[in-house]
Amino acid sequence: MNIETTLVQSVVEAIKNLYGADFSAEKIQLQKTRKEFEGDYTVVVFPFLALSKKRPEETAQEIGEYLKNNIASISSFNVVKGFLNLAISPSYWVDLLNEIDNDEKWGITPVTENSPLVMVEYSSPNTNKPLHLGHIRNNLLGYALSNIIEANGNKVVKTNIVNDRGIHICKSMLAWQKWGEGETPASSGKKGDHLIGDYYVAFDKHYKAELNELMAKGMSKEEAEAASPLMAEAREMLVKWEAGDKEVRALWEKMNNWVYEGFDETYKRLGVGFDKIYYESDTYLVGKETVLGGLEKGIFYRRDDESVWADLTNDGLDEKLLLRSDGTSVYMTQDIGTAQLRFRDYPIDKMVYVVGNEQNYHFQVLSLLLDKLGFSWGKGLVHFSYGMVELPEGKMKSREGTVVDADDLMDEMINTARETSEELGNKLNDLTSEEKAEINRIIGLGALKYFMLKVDARKNMLFNPKESIDFNGNTGPFIQYTYARTRSIERKATEAGVIRSTARPESVSEKECAIIRMLNDFPAIAKQAGCDYSPSGIANYAYELAKEYNQFYHDFSILKEENEATKSFRILLTHNVGKVIKTAMSLLGIEVPERM
């Protein structure tokens, strides 16, 4: 039983014995003592005054004396008005550190055969362009969230839905057909996803030129868009694709395969992956069938132009298009089909969609439509809605070619890590160039990931590469450096023949107790991050732990400590700080280097 539970139960007993009354454990307010006061935990006494019929100070004094007499681990207490501050004895924290040391997976709840199954969908790229900065945030959030949910004792299936069909895909295909001259990734030396992205931009460039020509002849913008021959060709290609035209399908398959090879390279480098990948080219037909079935049952209706709609006005929403007048599907139709296939493939207890907040309305509608179609799991869908990433220069636009490419950004981060390490004075001179490159990769990508994940996911964020790679402050490299420091101390201790000891030292400082308290908090932090779907909770915990340990490192001797028992105890403390930092960072998908 942890100390918090013991304290709460003992307060319940105190009230029963002192005032002859029952008091619910859930109503007891126990919190960490504020730094300006002496103590570890604070009990708020005001809710008990109706039972004690005494002043707050007197009530707190009586309960404090009861707890000190009945809980061996309480060393002292003090009263500040209606607040009872309890100090826990150092010996308790030492015993707790030994317990933490014995648990290699401290803070992680094991997955069992009967654990719930949670499916997490993230990434969801289009096969008409490479992954960019926005995709990076999505992938990092989805992967970290999957790790955190699993660390809370759930089975997790990481899934991706690839948007491999639709008008945007046809734009790239048509542009390549018209202006590609047979260019391939091999002939151009470009990654496949980059090559196809170039043709998506080329389509937009030619389309805009066409619109300008039509408007110069007196057409309005809307009239020019309706009359555009290029867009008409793209729409015709989509209709042919849906009809199974062999030539269009062959081109589509060839170009998509180029893109998948490029995506796989980026995913691997980013350190994310999937257990199951779905493709909209497979799922849209299931969605289409379901929508037509809903039409027959009167759940949906058909307009005069043959398009199919859902009327959600009675649910406080609006009318939603499900099938266009030419019979082609929209995203909503595809998502209905994808959801069905997933629940058919897996016994899912919860489905989590990691999708930007511009799609909040979409998921409101999807949940409602699935429920109306009779799927019991419709209302239980979770939309993990996150904010957009912006740069100091402003928003990005794919079709205009103004996005920050994921591959380029990773290159930049790794180069910045190398330059920063060299500026700080290279401590890695005894390593090979390959070993140095690997450490710079870990630092650069760690900086990128941490900067993305430390911010509350619901907020829009401004990404600044230079700021993220700082070796001081709330950054990935600072935490990584702290881990590397713990490993360096352990290596030197081993060389000197010092072992970490579970024996109690003669005395333990308040700073050492504070660090053990933080280590003790980790399971609760991990649990809260799972409940709140909040990777930032883990990120900021790792930073606070690293900061606390670095203060300890600067204020206390470790390897030069003369008392052998104290020295061994501090090695034990150092080892477990490193262990918990590594666990916390791994939940975020961030590697930590053994040296820096």
Which CATH number is 122-390's, of 1.10.10.10, 2.60.40.10, 3.40.47.10, 3.40.50.620? 3.40.50.620
Distance CA 167, CA 232 (A): 11
Q: Which of 293, 353, 300 is nearest to 322 (CA)?
A: 300
Question: Which two three-digit tokens encode residue 445?
Answer: 């990508």
Task: Look at residue 456 and tell me whether its pLDDT is greater than 80.
Answer: yes
More confident residue, 462 or 493: 493
Residue 489 binned pLDDT confidence (cut-offs 50, 70, 90)? very high
**How confident is the model over 22-63, as pLDDT tens digits?**
999 999 999 999 989 999 999 999 999 999 999 999 999 999
pLDDT of residue 423: 79
pLDDT at 398 over 80: no
CA distance 332 to 322: 6
Residues 6+ apart with CB under 8 A from 228: 207, 210, 211, 214
Residue 513: its H or E element: helix 510-532
Q: What is the mean pLDDT of the chain?
A: 93
The dihedral over CA atoms of 416, 419, 425, 426, expressed in degrees to the nearest 10, equals: 90
Q: What is the pLDDT of residue 421?
A: 83
Residue 374 token pair: 């009779």
Residue closest to 85 by CA, chosen among 47, 49, 46, 32: 32
Output the pLDDT for position 254.
97
Beta-bridge partners for 119: 157, 351
Q: Is the pLDDT of residue 395 over 60?
A: no
HSE (side-chain half, CA atoms, 13 Å) at 97: 29
Whole-number percent of the chain with pLDDT over 70 = 97
Give mean pLDDT, residues 493-510.
89
Is beta strand 308-311 parallel, antiparallel or unpaired with respect to 319-323? antiparallel
Question: Structural domain boundaries of the chain?
Answer: 3-88, 122-390, 406-587
Count of C-beta atoms within a 10 Å radius of residue 289: 14
pLDDT at 142: 98
Measuring CA to CA, how many Å separate 481 from each of 4, 18, 415?
32, 52, 18
Q: What is the DSSP letter of 505?
A: P
For residue range 308-328, list pLDDT tens digits in order: 999 999 999 999 999 999 888
Predicted confidence at residue 376, as pLDDT, reads: 84
**Same fold? 3-88, 406-587:** no
The fold adopted by the segment(s) 406-587 is Isoleucyl-tRNA Synthetase; Domain 1 (1.10.730)
425 — pLDDT class (breaks 50, 70, 90) = low
- Does residue 400 register a pLDDT over 70? no
Give Cα separations from 38 to 63, 506, 549, 596 (angstroms): 17, 22, 21, 37
The pLDDT, as a whole number, for residue 467 is: 82
Q: For residue range 232-264, what is the model confidence (pLDDT) as tens digits?
A: 999 999 999 989 999 999 999 999 999 999 999
Residues paired with residue 41 on neighbouring β-strands, in sequence order:
32, 86
- Tell whether the model's pLDDT for residue 399 goes beyond 50: no
Pick the CATH number of 3-88 from 3.30.450.20, 3.90.1150.10, 3.90.580.10, 3.30.1360.70: 3.30.1360.70
Residue 401 has pLDDT above 50, yes or no: no
pLDDT digits over 326-375, tens only?
888 888 999 999 999 999 999 999 999 999 999 999 999 999 999 999 98
